Structure formats: C-alpha cells, structure tokens
C-alpha cells in the first residue's frame, strides 16, 4: 500500500512524507492518525526578553494523542503489525502509553501498559483507559516498569514499543526534518526536555542525517534539560529515587544514555538540570504570555533556555527552537494549582458587571 488509510495525505503523515528516510517497506501498513506536520510557532514575548534573534516553539502537543510520542509510535506499531504481532507492550510515565494504546487500537492490536502507580498525570491515564489498554500499575518507578517490560518481551510474543525499539527513534527523528524543512536551515540551538533520552537522540539523528545528505549546512547545539531531582545525565550516575513535579521525565536511568551523551558532545551542546521551580516558572510563562499550554515536563526546554540566559550566556544573533513535547490538558491538576482570576457570581448581568469591577 502506498497511500494513507482514509486518503490522508501531505505533511501530517510522516511515514509518507519522509518515506525514503524511514524503514518503511511495501509491506508496512500505512496507518495514520495525522501525526507530524506540527506547527513551529514564533515567540511573541520571550524572544526579545531572552535577547534571541528568533525563538520558536515546536508544538508537538498538537500530535493526535497530544505528545511527540506519536511520531515514533506510528512507525513502531506499524512495524509490529507488519511483523505479525498481536500485542504491544510498553513502560510509561504516561505519554508513551497513551500513544501506544491509540495506535494499537487503530491497528486492531492489544496494548499492555505498565506504569508507576499514582505517578501518571490524569489525562494520560484517561487516554489509556479510553483506548482499552490493559493497564498494570506497579509499586515502583518508570525504571522498574521498563525493566519489567523488557523481561516480559523476551519471554512472551509481544512487541516492545518503548524507545529501546529502534523504530521509535527513527520516527521521532522526523521532528528535526520538519524544523529544517520549515526554517530552510538548522537553528543554532535546540532545547529539549530529557527523560529516557530517546527524543534528544532522535532529533540529533535527524539533524545529522540531513547534514550528511547536504540538505542543511549546519547542525544545532543540542541543549537537553533534565529535572534536578531526576538528572542522572548531569551527575553521571543513575538516580535510585527520581523525584520531580514533571512526572513525564521522572526517570533515574535513561535507556538511551549513550545517545544523549553523543548528541551533547558531537553538537558541542550541554545537558543541564532545571529545578521544579524553574520548570513551573517557564510553564507559567508559556500559557499566558505565548498562548502555549503544555505539560510541566515540556516547559523544561524553555526553563533551561531561561536558565542559560540568566547565567549570562549570550543568545544575541541566535535562533533557538524549544521542543514543546506534551499538551497541558494531560495534567490538569498542575494547571489548577495556578491561582486563578476567578469569582463566583449570580446569573444577573449587573452581578457579573460588579464581579468584573465594571459597575
Ligand atoms: N516530555 C514529555 C511530555 C514526555 O512524556 C517525555 C517522556 C519526555 C519529554 C522525555 O522524552 O524520554 O525521549 O527523553 N515520556 C516517556 C513516557 C518516558 O513514558 O511517556 P525522552
């Protein structure tokens, strides 16, 4: 099959758009939910504040399940189906499980998700439930969940769709292709939150492939940011008990450790830690100042950029892209902790006028 199911075409179907750069064969089922083709949104306020030439937000939260995971999952689940799998399995802090469950549904496969109990943002859990995934909530961390699913996938006929599956990284590298295709060049700096370290590895691969193919003449510095309570790539040793408000990146022993370090070193970039306070500060700037409502982990990319600026790094003349990885609606609890501008009123116009301070 060479055309998308349902006739969907163009930029929002990465398996077709970047087919020649992906492991897609004639036997790969071309199933799509409309992933990729996400907007690159120019900053309206923070760009000037940070002294950048240009600042863009890559709105990965506009993917079908509300996170960047769909880029990798559309390929990983298609390849699992192509290989005859009947079930997919993953460990997750929430977004991977939401995405795996959606694509498994679309392919008519069973999805099994293993998650740290009580540590998944509400919206993400709702997605896995809605798609009919079989959910196992373990008394342990994401790192424990990943160990368990790796062992299960060795013993049972299920396809593992975490980013240790190479198809996940292949699909996710298309985010870098889209940035270059849209800007006509690579940015100077790419800011990205880092948890299990698949995405920073994927973006670096995407930029590097375009560079090798001479579709672009430079590559960005990769600036990865981990939460301070879960920053093994910064300290150089796994964290036994990771802790952060950004539950999506609450990971103590990233599976693609070496990929992240290579991305950092080959790009002459950095991987640094941002505190929960810095993450929340960036989170609370993005929605009111830029119109971008993301989940806390996603704000780590901007938090890191703000941190570098505050530390005196000169950003003048530079173009930066922050990857905004997941939607704010996934974690309504954190959003509602913001002090709202809200009053109760009776249902009369004059009462609402008074509530607004107009009368
Ligand atoms: N941002 C969000 C919103 C995420 O969900 C994740 C990872 C990351 C950033 C970090 O990406 O792991 O490739 O370094 N979420 C995974 C999950 C672990 O299970 O949904 P990474």
Contact 84, 215 (CB under 8 A): no
Whose Cα sits closest to atom 9 in ligand 1? 193
Q: Is 223 helix (H, G, I), strand (E, B) or coil?
A: strand
Per DSSP, helices labelled H in 216-299 are 232-235, 257-266, 276-290
CA of 216 relative to ligand 1 center, distance in Å: 27
Q: Which residues contact 336 (CB under 8 A, 6 or more apart)?
A: none
pTM for the model: 0.96
Tens digits of pLDDT across the chain (359 residues): 334 444 344 467 999 999 999 999 999 999 999 999 999 999 999 999 999 999 999 999 999 999 999 999 999 999 999 999 999 999 999 999 999 999 999 999 999 999 999 999 999 999 999 999 999 999 999 999 999 999 999 999 999 999 999 999 999 999 999 999 999 999 999 999 999 999 999 999 999 999 999 999 999 999 999 999 999 999 999 999 999 999 999 999 999 999 999 999 999 999 999 999 999 999 999 999 999 999 999 999 999 999 999 999 999 999 999 999 999 999 999 999 988 899 999 999 999 999 999 98
Of 97, 85, 35, nearest to 61 by C-alpha is 35
For residue 11, the model assigns a pLDDT of: 65
Residue with token string 């889209």:
178
Residue with token string 């501008």:
341
Crossing angle of helices 122-130 and 95-107, in 10° steps, is: 10
CA of 246 relative to ligand 1 center, distance in Å: 10
pLDDT digit string (tens) for 61-100?
999 999 999 999 999 999 999 999 999 999 999 999 999 9
- What is the spatial distance between Cα 201 and Cα 215, in angstroms, rounded to a whole number? 19
Choose the residue to mutate in 94, 124, 195 for probing ligand 1, maximizing ligand atoms within 8 Å of C-beta.
195
Q: Is 169 in the pocket of ligand 1 (CB under 6 A)?
A: no
For residue 3, the model assigns a pLDDT of: 41
Say how many CA atoms lie within 13 Å of 197 toward its Cβ.
Answer: 23
Of 227, 217, 214, 165, nearest to 188 by C-alpha is 217
Of 103, 201, 200, nearest to 159 by C-alpha is 103
Crossing angle of helices 174-183 and 198-212, in 10° steps, is: 50
For residue 72, the model assigns a pLDDT of: 98
Q: Is 96 in the pocket of ligand 1 (CB under 6 A)?
A: yes
pLDDT digit string (tens) for 290-305?
999 999 999 999 999 9
Q: Which residues contact 72 (CB under 8 A, 6 or more apart)?
A: 99, 163, 167, 168, 169, 170, 171, 172, 198, 202
Choose the residue to mutate in 149, 249, 257 for probing ligand 1, maximizing ligand atoms within 8 Å of C-beta.
249
């Amino acid at each position: 099959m060479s055309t998308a199911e349902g006739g969907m075409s163009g930029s929002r179907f990465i398996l077709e758009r970047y087919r020649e750069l992906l492991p897609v064969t004639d036997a790969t089922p071309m199933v799509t939910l409309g992933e990729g083709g996400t907007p690159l949104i120019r900053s309206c306020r923070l760009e000037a504040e940070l002294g950048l030439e240009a600042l863009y937000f890559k709105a990965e939260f506009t993917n079908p399940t509300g996170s960047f995971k769909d880029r990798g999952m559309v390929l990983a689940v298609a390849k699992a189906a192509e290989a005859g799998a009947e079930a997919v399995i993953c460990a997750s802090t929430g977004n991977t499980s939401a995405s795996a469950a959606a694509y498994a549904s679309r392919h008519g496969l069973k999805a099994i998700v293993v998650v740290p109990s009580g540590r998944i943002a509400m919206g993400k859990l709702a997605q896995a439930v809605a798609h009919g995934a079989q959910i196992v909530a373990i008394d342990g961390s994401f790192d424990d969940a990943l160990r368990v699913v790796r062992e299960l996938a060795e013993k049972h006929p299920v396809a593992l769709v975490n980013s240790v599956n190479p198809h996940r990284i292949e699909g996710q590298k298309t985010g870098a292709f889209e940035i270059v295709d849209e800007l006509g060049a690579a940015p100077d700096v790419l800011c990205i939150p880092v948890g299990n370290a698949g995405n920073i590895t994927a973006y670096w691969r995407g930029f590097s492939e375009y560079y090798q193919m001479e579709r672009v003449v430079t590559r960005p510095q990769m600036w990865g940011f981990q939460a301070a309570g879960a920053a093994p790539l910064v300290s150089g040793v796994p964290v036994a008990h990771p802790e952060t408000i950004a539950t999506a990146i609450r990971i103590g022993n990233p599976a693609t450790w070496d990929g992240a370090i290579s991305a950092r070193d080959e790009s002459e970039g950095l991987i640094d830690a941002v505190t929960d306070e810095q993450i929340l500060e960036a989170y609370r700037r993005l929605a009111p100042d830029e119109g971008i409502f993301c989940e806390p982990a996603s704000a780590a990319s901007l938090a890191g950029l703000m941190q570098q600026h505050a530390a005196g790094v000169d950003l003048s003349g530079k173009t930066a892209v922050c990857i905004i990885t997941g939607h704010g609606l996934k974690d309504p609890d954190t959003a509602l902790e913001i002090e709202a501008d809200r009053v109760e009123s009776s249902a009369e116009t004059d009462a609402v006028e008074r509530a607004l301070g107009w009368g």
